[in-house]
């Protein structure tokens, strides 16, 4: 059962709806958030109002430097056979490193394929990953295969999972699905909108689109969920976003590893929904993730494309592609079985 959440006054009460109960928790909106959302300009416009905060000031300083560093690294990057996860005559999947642009991976692929005599004139990216997102990146070798994948992704026939290392207040849910709107604000940044805003026009002429992600908590502070089972609501909750996001800096105290399964494929989808849930991804300064944590600085967000599952467009066989977990995920994943 899903329930549309009402817009509430401060202090904000958020309701999570599960198959057997409704549970809620209380948070307070910061004055910085109020100053934007409650401004006369935002209130009088005919456009939908974004429900997640604008970009933090720190991101304007850090992101340009990250982009320059990534450009330098990407210019020197070359694929090796150690990056290859899967290959046949129609497809090749690689494990993209953090801090490398997708285009650089694609442009370095011909050198790798030339060693085997494969055709390299019809290479296409089947999926794209953000600059700092590592993991499974799929590339097609023929135009006709690329077209089939476009349709498969559009029809939600490709299943994806990601791992994200978050820092925030440990959630009371073990599994949750977030449904919201997605679009660019008048300042060009990607933002969360109310689910009911889907289809409405935004500044610049684009439309709010639907966005849906399911999350599962894998570990909290290095302990698997089974060790803290009493603290979780065991049934899967569903949130239909209709309210403003609220995050307080004082809530950033726990380390949470989550597995995310996006149903839609919107830009920065998982990062936005983690921010909305109050568990921004470590290193993701664009969406309020910590830059410094326990004496270390993080030069990129810790998000990893763990797997892709689909039916092969030519052979019809079921294919599961998995990238090895990055170093930051190994110990939390191991804790599930200890």
Q: Of the listed 130, 132, 197, 284, which one is catalytic?
A: 130
DSSP state of 181: E
**Which of 197, 239, 232 is CA-nearest to residue 217?**
232
**Which of 265, 261, 263 is CA-nearest to residue 150?**
265
Check if the beta carbon of residue 133 is closer than 8 Å to that of residue 304. Answer: yes
Which residue intervals of the chain are DSSP H helices? 31-37, 40-44, 57-76, 102-114, 143-154, 269-276, 327-335
Residue 130 catalytic?
Answer: yes
Q: Can you say whether the dihedral through the CA atoms of 73, 79, 84, 87 is positive or negative?
A: positive
Which strand (E) or helix (H) includes residue 259? strand 254-262
| CB-based burial label for 68 (10 Å; 0-12, 13-18, 19+) | exposed
Task: Give the list of residues 6+ apart from residue 285 with CB closer than 8 angstroms, or none.
Answer: 56, 58, 59, 62, 63, 291
Task: Give the list of residues 6+ apart from residue 213 with CB closer than 8 angstroms, or none.
Answer: 177, 178, 260, 261, 262, 263, 264, 269, 270, 273
Check if the beta carbon of residue 298 is closer than 8 Å to that of residue 181. Answer: no
Contacts for 26-34: CB closer than 8 Å, 24+ residues apart: 27/246, 27/247, 27/248, 27/251, 27/278, 28/246, 28/248, 29/244, 29/246, 30/246, 30/247, 30/248, 33/244, 33/245, 33/246, 34/10
Residues designated catalytic? 130
């Amino acid at each position: 059962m899903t329930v549309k959440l009402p817009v509430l006054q401060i202090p904000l009460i958020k309701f999570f709806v599960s198959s057997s109960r409704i549970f809620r928790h209380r948070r307070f909106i910061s004055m910085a958030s109020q100053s934007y959302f409650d401004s006369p300009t935002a209130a009088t416009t005919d456009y939908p109002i974004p429900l997640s905060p604008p970009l933090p000031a720190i991101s304007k300083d850090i992101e340009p430097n990250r982009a320059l560093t990534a450009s330098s690294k990407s210019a020197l990057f070359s694929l090796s056979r150690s990056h290859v996860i899967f290959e046949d005559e129609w497809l090749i999947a690689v494990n993209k490193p953090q801090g490398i642009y997708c285009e650089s991976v694609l442009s370095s692929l011909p050198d790798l394929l030339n060693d085997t005599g494969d055709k390299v004139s019809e290479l296409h990216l089947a999926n794209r990953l953000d600059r700092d997102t590592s993991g499974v990146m799929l590339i097609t070798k023929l135009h006709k295969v690329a077209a089939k994948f476009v349709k498969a992704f559009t029809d939600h026939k490709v299943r994806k999972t990601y791992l994200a290392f978050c820092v925030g207040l440990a959630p009371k849910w073990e599994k949750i699905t977030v449904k919201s709107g997605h679009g660019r604000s008048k300042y060009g940044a990607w933002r969360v909108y109310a689910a009911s805003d889907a289809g409405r026009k935004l500044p610049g002429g684009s439309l709010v689109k639907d966005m849906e992600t399911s999350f599962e908590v894998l570990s909290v502070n290095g302990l698997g969920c089974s060790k803290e089972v009493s603290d979780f609501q065991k049934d899967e909750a569903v949130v239909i976003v209709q309210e403003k996001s609220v995050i307080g800096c004082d809530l950033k105290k726990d380390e949470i590893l989550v597995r995310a399964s996006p149903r839609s494929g919107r830009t920065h989808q998982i990062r936005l929904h983690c921010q909305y849930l109050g568990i921004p991804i470590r290193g993701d300064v664009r969406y309020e993730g910590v830059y410094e944590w326990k004496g270390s600085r993080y030069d990129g967000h810790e998000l990893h494309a763990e797997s892709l599952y689909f039916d092969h467009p030519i052979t019809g066989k079921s294919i599961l592609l998995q990238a090895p977990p990055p170093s930051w995920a190994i110990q939390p994943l191991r804790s599930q079985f200890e």
